[in-house]
């Protein structure tokens, strides 16, 4: 396969994968979601691991450390707000949670906004630099974690999802019958 077609195929595959992940993330932010503790624990572990791996680099600069702390703080506040407005429902023996619509929309919009910004502003300059240097230069993607807004938004996501999923798991284990909503009947 010629190099140009390989690059186009790789870009299309990556774009399709990103769109699929974003669609799934959007879908999980709204409506009835079955409680799947193993998946939630796995997501908590992966996000925590990535955050821990990024932590040393982010702490090398006061600006990045402030971005990390600010993003984490905003994420935790959104998670607390979201969990207070999350409802639970049992249908056919399965426990569902219903996330707060506006909180999920805010978190998704922040992520989508930064993703689109990176796609429209950062990616073209990355391509130009790559083409001019004849290939990937060292630190091409290494610059991503050095951008304060990117660090802040990533840690908003980490703070939100780690706290939100942990709270959902805790709350689901301590639910009383009066805490649950009655399933809506079709009528």
Least confident window among 16-25, 68-77, 84-93, 147-156: 16-25
What average pLDDT does this structure show over 121-144? 53
Q: What is the pTM of this model?
A: 0.75
pLDDT at 126 over 80: no
pLDDT of residue 23 exceeding 60, the answer is yes
DSSP state of 144: G
Measure the CA angle with vertex 28, ends 17 and 74; round to 5°. 100
Beta strands in the chain, from DSSP E residues, in sequence order:
33-34, 87-91, 94-98, 180-181
**Is 158:73 a contact under the CB 8 Å cutoff?**
no
pLDDT for 119 equals: 73
Residue 58 has pLDDT above 90, yes or no: no
**Number of other CB atoms surrounding residue 142 within 10 Å:** 10
Q: How far apart are CA 104 and CA 25, in angstroms?
A: 9
The residue ranges of every structural domain in the chain are 36-181
CB 80 within 8 A of CB 164: no
């Amino acid at each position: 396969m010629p190099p140009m077609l390989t690059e186009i195929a790789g870009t299309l595959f990556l774009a399709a994968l990103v769109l699929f992940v974003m669609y799934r993330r959007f879908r999980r932010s709204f409506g009835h979601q079955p409680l799947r503790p193993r998946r939630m624990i796995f997501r908590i572990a992966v996000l925590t691991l990535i955050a821990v791996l990024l932590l040393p680099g982010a702490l090398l600069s006061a600006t990045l450390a402030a971005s990390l702390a600010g993003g984490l703080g905003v994420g935790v506040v959104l998670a607390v707000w979201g969990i207070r407005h999350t409802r639970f429902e049992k249908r056919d023996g399965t426990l569902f949670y219903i996330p707060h619509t506006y909180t999920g929309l805010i978190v998704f919009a922040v992520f989508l906004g930064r993703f689109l910004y990176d796609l429209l502003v950062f990616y073209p300059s990355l391509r130009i630099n790559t083409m001019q240097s004849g290939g990937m230069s060292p630190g091409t993607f290494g610059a991503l974690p050095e951008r304060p807004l990117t660090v802040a938004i990533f840690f908003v996501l980490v703070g939100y999802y780690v706290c939100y999923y942990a709270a959902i798991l805790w709350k689901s284990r301590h639910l009383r019958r009066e805490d649950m909503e009655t399933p809506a009947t079709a009528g």
